[in-house]
Structure 1
Amino acid sequence: MMPHHLPFYVVKPGETDVLMIVMGVFLILAILGVGNVYLRLHSLPERMAHKGQKLQFEIVAVLGLLSLFTHIHIFRIAGLLLALVDLPDFTTPLSSIAGSVERIADNESPPTESPADETAEVQATRAVERASLAVSRSASAPAKEGHGHV
């Protein structure tokens, strides 16, 4: 009943359309593949920032979520740039300095005269002066050792 001059992809009545099944499977795989690539690109800044500090990672993750839900791509660009930049670590040296000053202040003997009417601000100022004096003493001690007799 079918003419012989029809192309190969036209199926006879009652037969299975193999080309449609192959293209359907290809379409499903293509959609899943493109979706996977999109999600990997979306999570790229988070994966890059995961190696850095926790705060940097959290900021990049929030920027990624904002860009995903608002479709404002500047958030994604900002997150990617933030993930590429290594933020300096300020908390570790500052906490080390604070701990050292606290230990120095604890090692100092309390003053012999402490008037009762002295305010907390004056006491804090004196504690800082004692700590700075102790720091200057400890900094100058190794320098004096090098000036021995020859």
Structure 2
Amino acid sequence: MKEAKAKAPKLIVEGLKAQNLALINQDNLLHGKDSEGGLMPLYSKKYRRGNLFYADYKNRSNPLSKRRWDLKHSWDKKFDGLFYRSIKVTITDKQVKFDTNYSPEYMKEIYYYKSKSKILGITKQQFIEVQLKNKLKVGPKLKNIINKRS
């Protein structure tokens, strides 16, 4: 039993890492949702290049977000996907922390309208689902450890 108690935190952390929480965060953003399940702001209808409005450009690039911020594409292709790739998740036996080191000047304006903590992360329901999946994988491993010692 002592061995199972000692190994449980490590098994839980490994299981959470394997579920790639950053991809769940990215998928939420692709669908125009924040880390609490709320909607991201709509793209402005006033910005345009020539006859193409930015909101229309974004909708063509990613119709899943329904004209809401997805933070994936921009007019300037050099920024495409950089924010998504910068999302890092640190998992310890005490906490799960989402962060990014992506900080071009325009992100300050984005964080003004939608805080970093509401952009980075997954919903409570998603985290519960992740933990339940993890439980299904970790449980049998712990039982094996306990049964070996019995």
Structure with max Cα Rg: 1
Query: Do Structure 1 and Structure 2 share a fold, with TM-score over 0.5?
Result: no
Which protein is richer in strand relative to its size? 2
**Greater relative contact order, per chain length (Cα 8 Å cut-off, separation 6+):** 2
Which protein is richer in helix relative to its size? 1
TM-score normalised by structure 2 residue count: 0.23
TM-score normalised by structure 1 residue count: 0.23
